[in-house]
Structure 1
């Protein structure tokens, strides 16, 4: 399937909010706070040093999105990146779009001198785990642990 990646812009916020809400509902996330998400999106769209966002498009229609966040790791030798969210509308899954998206992100990361690309996947989502293994991701045999600092 022929797709393209459109760099997110401020005028894409409403489209992104719809897609993000779809993703959260599909993955069973308990809360979607449009105010919080909107604020975070605007910050991300306006500060390229913290990450990037792209709409995944088919025939100029948004069918998903992907968010890449930047960090730094001594273990990996410098800049690293985290696939914060990746969503492809279920009607378009299983058609190679995920593979194209990962390849696109790898190329972006290489061009930005990023040394490692990370992601997280739900423990129950074995089909996604299998896909990520097929495209070269390895289980680090570690737990991602999180402490929220601002409970707004």
Structure 2
């Protein structure tokens, strides 16, 4: 089993849209394809916002990961957020997630990113276990959100 990561571009939009829809259904998130397409086009076009990769097993896409960029005094400069991370269910539990996290850590080091963050549902114990094994820690804070544009 060979895992590799394809840097996504606009030619991957339809594949990404399919994965994003599956991820939103799995997580119970509101899915509006028009809004998602616009946001996806933005990050695919402007590398200063972040990066998107297709996760491939034996050169077949099995998921995707989105890394977005930020800056934080607390985290000593440039930081990043794993904004979305999805692997199709039939490929979970086979080390794909662990290899993807390792890949992202290497990318962050190469880009001078000091810290990487992620968000996980409180009920998703499998994902929490993966992230904790990879060295992510709970900062004992709440991640709060306020929509500025509805």
Q: Give the distance between the partners of 2:132 and 2:60, measured in 1 at CA.
A: 29
RMSD across aligned positions (CA): 0.7
Q: Give the distance between the partners of 2:71 and 2:96, measured in 1 at CA.
A: 28
Gaps of at least 5 residues in structure 2 are none
| Matched residue SS, 2:138 | coil
Paired position in structure 2 for 1:27: 27
TM-score by length of 1: 0.96
CA offsets 1:71-92 (integer angstroms, 9 cap, x no match) = 0000011000000000000000
**1:37-56 paired onto structure 2 within 5 Å:** 37-56=36-55
Report the Cα offset of residue 40 of structure 1: 0.4
Q: Give the distance between the partners of 1:11 and 1:150, measured in 2 at CA.
A: 29
Q: How many aligned positions are there? A: 150
Paired position in structure 1 for 2:117: 118
1:14 partnered with 2:14? yes
**1:1-152 paired onto structure 2 within 5 Å:** 1-29=1-29, 31-151=30-150
Superposition misfits of 4+ residues, deviation over 4 angstroms = none
Gaps of at least 5 residues in structure 1 are none
